[in-house]
Structure 1
Amino acid sequence: MKKIFLGGPIQYGFGEKGKFDENLKNIILQTINFLEKSNCIVYSAHLVENFEKNIDTKTYYNISKRDYNWMLNCDVYIAILSSNNKNSIIRSDGTFIEIGWAYALNKPIILIMDDGVLENASDLLKCMVDEKKIIVIQINQLFSNILSLIKDI
């Protein structure tokens, strides 16, 4: 059974009306459902925190510690980097910290992104992709590709 740490925007996943982006939420929930049905264990702050509804601001240290322990225990780190209406990645400071942890710990990293978004990403992220340190899957091809990648890891 593969252990997957699934990351993605939480704090900046909220729109102007204070509601979590429905498209992003659906992608996250569909990905978790798909991975769990494929006999993977999924570590997800989105689920544990109920998309930030169950956060006590006094526990940020515990959240960071929990997430780092998930990283130590996972087989694969997957990040959903959805785009905003400007075709840029929705800001997610925590996700990029997790990418750094995964990279430093030599964990396989898979990014799930909208088509064309990588072109607007940071040069460091593009370099990691070019050097094959990170695998990118387009959101519209997610379910046809992700299982074969995880099985090969």
Structure 2
Amino acid sequence: MSQGKKMFLAGPFKSLVNSNTGIMGKHEKQKLINLISFFETRGFSVHNAHKREGWGKDFMTPEECTEIDFKEISACDLFVAFPGAPASPGTHIEIGWASALNKPIVLLLEEEKDYAFLINGLGTIANVTFIRFRTEEDYFSQLDKVYLQIV
């Protein structure tokens, strides 16, 4: 694997920010930190809005984050996302951008949750690897097996 690969990590955000603390819960934050670390140790530079925006304490304006996220997705070599169930509107827009830009996509789908029809069918028009999981260990095990094939 050559150095310098870029990855965009997407997932639900605003819905996971605690209204009392103004930041994401520790469990959800740690899931993202673990994924960032997984890819960084494999030579990727990872862009993640959650981290960029202080896990909720430093939200950008819609205009700022939309422009940055589109530019980062345009420049990435790999797009990875938790689509959200229920659906995360922002994440679904980012998935749409990644598919329209012909980016390799990995969607992390929790078993026994319902996802939008267009998420389930995305593989018919885009380069998508679906990883279905019950636990964090499940998707890391699968990511370890497929990440070389998807970049």
TM-score bracket, shorter-length normalisation: 0.7 to 0.9
Distance in structure 1 (CA, Å) of the matches to 2:140 and 2:86: 21
Higher helix share: 1
What TM-score do you get using the length of structure 1 for normalisation?
0.81
RMSD: 2.1
Distance in structure 1 (CA, Å) of the matches to 2:57 and 2:20: 15
Alignment-derived partner of residue 117 in structure 2: 123
Q: Are residue 143 (structure 1) and residue 145 (structure 2) matched?
A: no
Which structure has more relative contact order (CA 8 Å, sep 6+)? It is 1
Contact 1:80 1:113 in 2 (8 A): yes
- Deviation string for 1:49-106 (max 9, x for gaps)? 01121124xx321111000000110011100245xxxxxx144211100000011011
Aligned residues: 143
In structure 2, the CA distance between the partners of 1:130 and 1:72, relative to structure 1 (3 Å rule), is: closer
What TM-score do you get using the length of structure 2 for normalisation?
0.82
- In the alignment, structure 1 segments of 5+ residues that lack a partner are 83-88
- In the alignment, structure 2 segments of 5+ residues that lack a partner are none
In structure 2, the CA distance between the partners of 1:23 and 1:113, relative to structure 1 (3 Å rule), is: farther
Over the matched positions of the two proteins, sequence identity in percent amounts to 28
Alignment-derived partner of residue 114 in structure 1: 110
For residue 110 of structure 1, give the secondary structure of its aligned residue in structure 2.
strand
Alignment-derived partner of residue 66 in structure 1: 68
1:24 to 23, 28, 48: 28
Contact 1:13 1:90 in 2 (8 A): no
